[in-house]
A and B are shown apart, each in its own frame.
Chain A
Amino acid sequence: NAGVTQTPKFQVLKTGQSMTLQCAQDMNHEYMSWYRQDPGMGLRLIHYSVGAGITDQGEVPNGYNVSRSTTEDFPLRLLSAAPSQTSVYFCASSYAETQYFGPGTRLLVL
């Protein structure tokens, strides 16, 4: 199993550009989530999904959209990037007792 994969690893955007952060898992987990990690703060939940076709907002959803058309994929879309969205983004899936995190995407918005 590849586990949870994320692409790209690193991205630079200009203010106002849009992009999609990709996340995929091959463990058939129903629950998937997106977090952002900022210096001096704990990871914060952006959006989550309890299964294909079902998504909901987390703590910091503004400026981000998600969709879950398949169990495997959970892309995060930045609609119009802002410097405040400069962060490291982690996708995760979970089953039973264990959380599985992707390697992260470092995003810099200029």
Chain B
Amino acid sequence: KNEVEQSPQNLTAQEGEFITINCSYSVGISALHWLQQHPGGGIVSLFMLSSGKKKHGRLIATINIQEKHSSLHITASHPRDSAVYICAVDGGGADGLTFGKGTHLIIQP
């Protein structure tokens, strides 16, 4: 079973700061997902990565397959970025994703 670890568990930062959230996993994967869970509970897919780097607006996600590590960066953070960010890995089979416990991010104005 893949073990997915996220760090930090909690992060409080000031508006405008550059944010980095890390995810490491123990077993090789076919893809890694970054998800955002809003304070109201809804979960939204941000990125799916199998290699390299992806960018969407102020969000950047990178993955290093050899090191079994991914990072999610937020540039020019804003209070509306406050949410739980969840890393999930896909082992390539039909049996779904394995999720990290999430990083609770608060951006203060």
- A positions within 8 Å CB-CB of B: 31, 33, 35, 40-45, 48, 50, 56, 58, 88, 90, 97-101, 103-104
The 7 closest A-B pairs by CB, nearest first: A42-B99, A101-B43, A97-B48, A45-B96, A43-B99, A99-B45, A42-B101
Which of under 10, 10 to 19, 20 to 34, or 35 or more describes the interface residues of B?
A: 20 to 34
Chain A, Cβ-Cβ closest to B102: A42
CA separation between A29 and B28, bound complex, in Å?
26
CA separation between A43 and B88, bound complex, in Å?
9
The smallest C-beta distance from B38 to any residue of chain A, in angstroms, reads 10
CA separation between A103 and B42, bound complex, in Å?
5
- Residue B44, interface by CB 8 Å: yes
| Chain B, range 22-68, C-beta contacts under 8 Å to A | 31, 33, 35, 41-45, 48
Whether A33 lies near B96 (C-beta < 8 A) is yes
Known: A44-B99, A56-B95. Contact between A101 and B4, CB under 8 A? no
| Residues from chain A with Cβ under 8 Å of B94 in the complex | 31, 48, 50, 56
Can you name 18 extra interface pairs (CB under 8 A) apart from A42-B102, A104-B41?
A31-B94, A42-B86, A42-B88, A42-B101, A43-B86, A43-B97, A45-B95, A45-B97, A48-B96, A50-B94, A58-B95, A97-B31, A99-B35, A101-B35, A101-B44, A101-B45, A103-B41, A104-B42
Instruction: Report the number of A-B residue pairs with Cβ-Cβ less than 8 Å.
Output: 53
Binding site secondary structure of chain A: strand
- Residue B108, interface by CB 8 Å: no
Whether B98 lies near A90 (C-beta < 8 A) is no
Whether B95 lies near A40 (C-beta < 8 A) is no
The smallest C-beta distance from A83 to any residue of chain B, in angstroms, reads 21
Whether A41 lies near B48 (C-beta < 8 A) is no
The smallest C-beta distance from B5 to any residue of chain A, in angstroms, reads 10
* Cross-chain pairs A/B with CB under 8 angstroms, 10 sampled: A31-B94, A33-B96, A42-B102, A44-B99, A48-B96, A50-B94, A56-B94, A58-B95, A104-B42, A104-B43
| Residues from chain A with Cβ under 8 Å of B4 in the complex | 42
